[in-house]
């Protein structure tokens, strides 16, 4: 860790015990401009791990800014690594731009490294905030707007599956959704699972204040003839009547399927609900089965946005923690102003490979540099969803040995597009 940046006089970083929950929430509400009610709070569990929740305190003892992190297992190409999921970052509007975030980030890095977490991940509220701290945008998600009745190419086995439709019930659906979510995302980089009960419940809560004029949250589940669940969609229809008749919309909060037949059955159902005219899809991976199955993919309106961002905190642990899609032998010259231990030359060399997944060693070297890049670009490439060669073509990676970026791009890339299906 480099030298810590100064805070304004008298300010200090403190841990936030649960007893100070209301003070913490007040900063968050001021930062994100939202309110809540006791009714909503009673239904929505607070997911914060209190031993990882921090604030910057002003000289008068009140909070100026806050942040927290989740202890995640982050799926990466061919493996999973411990990951500190940065969350609840906010500064009071009257305390902005005085270095509080910078100080919180440095605290977050030091504490994450102290716990042995080699990477951090986050969702960025605004795109321009986190690159300066070495986070790289590592994945995208796509949302599609579909017209009712959008046709899908056939998938064998879909017809043998059946659909059940119900109102979401915490007691019935928490475990079902979690089990299917895990199974559906197996082997997908970035697919963070909800590993605490509060996160599992938070995924399906439905306080009336969140309904925006729509119905209570419903769930469509796909089952085999034996009743085994294979897919789900959490959705809400919103009533709308026009002179020509009903034009309801279907807002899908989250959907996941364990295989193509289940995906086909699920979307065939969601795309043909009575009274509806259009469907707003959830965050999907850019390679989702639905996008391949649409007969007329041009008829959908896809919206691609950045998904999780990744920060490499401990370079050797992070780079040896994943697998590679091709053999590679490359000397990286990395710049990392905030965590100088990552800076300098590293030899990344793959060893054994089986089933298209090579493991690698990483060691210090004095050899000639092949590729020079900032730790931000390494974070961007880490989940396999951004090409090192594309980053070179964008001028963000400098190549000193011709062909090195192509080779590294092939190794860092991954056939399954990274995505996290939920915002943390």
Ligand X SMILES: CC(C)(COP(=O)(O)OP(=O)(O)OC[C@H]1O[C@@H](n2cnc3c(N)ncnc32)[C@H](O)[C@@H]1OP(=O)(O)O)[C@@H](O)C(=O)NCCC(=O)NCCS
Contact flag: residue 31 with ligand X (CB under 6 A): yes
Contact flag: residue 12 with ligand X (CB under 6 A): no
Query: How many residues bind ligand X, per CB under 6 A?
Result: 19
Strands 329-335 and 371-374: parallel
Task: Return the residue of 1, 14, 25, 129 that touches ligand X, per CB under 6 A.
Answer: 129
**Nearest distance from C-beta of residue 37 to ligand X, angstroms:** 21
**Nearest distance from C-beta of residue 108 to ligand X, angstroms:** 12
Task: Return the residue of 43, 44, 49, 102 that touches ligand X, per CB under 6 A.
Answer: 102
Question: What residues numbered 54-73 form the site for ligand X, per CB under 6 A?
Answer: 65
Task: Return the residue of 96, 170, 303, 401 that touches ligand X, per CB under 6 A.
Answer: 96
Question: Could you tell me the two tokens for 285?
Answer: 């991976």
Contact flag: residue 26 with ligand X (CB under 6 A): no
Q: Using CA atoms, how far apart are residues 296 and 408, in angstroms rounded to an integer?
A: 35
Q: Which one from 24, 70, 109, 130 is the annotated catalytic residue?
A: 130
Contact flag: residue 97 with ligand X (CB under 6 A): yes
Contact flag: residue 89 with ligand X (CB under 6 A): yes
Strands 229-238 and 140-147: unpaired
Q: Which one from 11, 24, 72, 424 is the annotated catalytic residue?
A: 424
Q: Using CA atoms, how far apart are residues 145 and 408, in angstroms rounded to an integer?
A: 36
Contact flag: residue 242 with ligand X (CB under 6 A): no
424 is catalytic: yes
133 is catalytic: no
Contact flag: residue 128 with ligand X (CB under 6 A): yes
Contact flag: residue 101 with ligand X (CB under 6 A): yes
Q: Which residues of 249-285 are buried (b: 16+ CB within 10 A; e: fewer)?
A: bbbbbbbbbbbbbbbbbbbbbbbebeebbbbbbbbbb
**Nearest distance from C-beta of residue 294 to ligand X, angstroms:** 32
Q: Using CA atoms, how far apart are residues 299 and 284, in angstroms rounded to an integer?
A: 17
**8 Å CB contact between 168 and 337:** no
Please state, in angstroms and as integers, the Cα–Cα distance from residue 347 to each residue in 76, 300, 366, 410, following that order.
20, 45, 9, 17
| Span of 94-102, 161-169, 243-251, 296-304 interacting with ligand X by CB under 6 A | 94-102
Contact flag: residue 3 with ligand X (CB under 6 A): no
Q: Please, which residue, 97 or 364, has the CB nearer to ligand X?
A: 97
The catalytic residues are: 130, 424
Residues near ligand X (CB under 6 A) are 31-32, 65, 89-91, 96-102, 124-126, 128-129, 132
């Amino acid at each position: 860790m480099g030298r810590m940046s100064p805070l304004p006089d008298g300010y200090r970083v403190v841990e936030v015990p649960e007893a100070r929950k209301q003070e913490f929430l007040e900063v968050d509400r001021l930062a994100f401009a939202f309110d809540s009610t006791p009714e909503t709070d009673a239904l929505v569990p607070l997911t914060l791990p209190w031993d990882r929740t921090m604030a910057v305190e002003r000289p008068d003892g009140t909070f100026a800014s806050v942040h927290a992190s989740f202890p995640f297992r982050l799926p990466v190409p061919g493996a999973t690594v411990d990951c500190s999921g940065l969350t609840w970052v906010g500064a009071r509007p009257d305390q902005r731009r005085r270095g509080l975030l910078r100080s919180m980030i440095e605290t977050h890095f030091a504490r994450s490294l102290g716990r042995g977490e080699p990477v951090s991940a986050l969702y960025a509220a605004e795109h321009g905030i986190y690159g300066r701290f070495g986070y790289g945008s590592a994945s995208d998600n796509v949302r599609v707007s579909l017209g009712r009745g959008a046709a899908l190419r056939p998938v064998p086995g879909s017809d043998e599956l059946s659909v059940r439709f119900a109102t979401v019930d915490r007691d019935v659906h928490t475990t079902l959704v979690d089990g299917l979510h895990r199974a559906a995302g197996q082997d997908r980089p970035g697919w963070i699972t909800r590993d605490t009960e509060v996160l599992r419940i938070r995924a399906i809560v439905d306080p009336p204040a969140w309904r925006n004029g729509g119905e209570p949250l419903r769930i469509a589940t796909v089952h085999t003839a034996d009743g085994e669940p294979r897919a789900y969609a959490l959705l809400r229809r919103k009533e709308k009547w026009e002179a020509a008749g009903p034009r309801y919309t279907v807002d899908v909060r989250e959907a996941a399927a364990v295989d193509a037949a289940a995906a086909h059955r699920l979307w065939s159902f969601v795309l043909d609900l009575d009274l509806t005219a259009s469907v707003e899809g959830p965050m999907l991976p850019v390679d989702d089965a639905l996008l391949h199955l649409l007969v007329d993919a041009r008829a959908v309106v896809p919206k691609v946005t950045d998904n999780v961002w990744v920060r490499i905190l401990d370079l050797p642990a992070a780079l040896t923690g994943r697998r590679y899609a091709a053999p590679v032998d490359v000397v990286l010259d990395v710049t990392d102003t905030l965590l100088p231990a990552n800076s300098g030359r590293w030899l990344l060399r793959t060893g054994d490979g089986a089933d298209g997944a090579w493991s690698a060693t990483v060691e210090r070297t004095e050899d000639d540099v092949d590729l020079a890049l900032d730790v931000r670009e390494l974070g961007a490439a880490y989940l396999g969803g951004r090409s090192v060669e594309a980053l070179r073509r964008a001028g963000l990676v400098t190549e000193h040995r011709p062909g090195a970026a192509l080779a590294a791009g092939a190794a860092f890339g991954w056939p399954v597009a990274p995505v996290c299906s939920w915002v943390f």
